[in-house]
Structure 1
Amino acid sequence: MTGRTGLTLAGLAIVLVVLWANLRPWWRGDRDPAKLKSFGTGSLLGALATMCGGGVLGWLAGCAPTLANNGGGKGVQGVTGQTPQATVTQGALGQLTPEGAVIVFLVFCGTIFAYRSAGKDERKRMVGGIFCGVCLCLTAGVASALNWVPDLVNQGGTVLVDGIEGAGLL
């Protein structure tokens, strides 16, 4: 996470608003887990983006907290007259291995395919999920709770490579 912008309290506020806007209709409705698919897909990609040191996903992980901080700062100041500039304690999920990067690439491609075939509302939910996934995984609490994700992704990549190599395909 070196060089990445930390999330301010105002930035956290706007992220929580986006999270609430996506989870509230589901909670008040029939709570069908399938209705969280688009938001969850985006959140997964957002979380994985925080593990990327560069590329499109690394860039996205660097931009999202800046957008949250700017938008949250303006929103909180406009409503309350105060701008909470204190930063939330930063966290990081971990580092990708080359094998794990293949898994993240496949998730990225799957998310793009899902986005292209989704309707307008589902696309909005995906983008909201990416935004929340990135921003929340840059906090110490969420990063700590999800500290198993990098190992899972990296090991999944290793299993994929070992399976392909063991099958004589590579």
Structure 2
Amino acid sequence: MNCGLRLLLYYKALDHVFQAAIHYALQDIGAGRIHNAQAQLQLLESLIDRKTIRDKNSDALIPEIVSLAARAPMQALRLLRYVLPRTNLPETMRSDIAGIISQCTIQFVHKGDWWEAKETLESLRLLESNKPIPKKNIFRVLEAIRVCTDRAFWRGDIQHVKNLTELVSSLP
């Protein structure tokens, strides 16, 4: 078998692996098996990182992840982190995803988990890197940070105030 044919079969096999991983990830997302879906998405990510698979295939996951966000926003955010950098999103999806990320950021801010909030804001910045996102999402996050900063200030928790102030500088 010549080298060209071998290479063609190799890419064809990888394409089948990619399609199977997408199929099983979609099934796992639909059934609420988040950890299994994350494993499938890690496989997809490793294939994409090797530049052996076309990025357009990861677009199929976005609608499923957005629908999952209504039930489990934190898990949806974790899944979005795998596919977000690799997708070309339509404007409506960008708005939905910005809403998910904002909702998760607000939850992290209210829980006092400023490190996770900073990570989610990095996802928001990544989403905005191509096109602007709706400003209402950023304003919601700002309002949550303001409320939590006021509470921390009146409690005398200066470190928490500093952390929240740092979050404001992380906003896109």
The verdict on a shared fold, with TM-score over 0.5 as the criterion, is: no
More helix by share: 2
TM-score by length of 1: 0.24
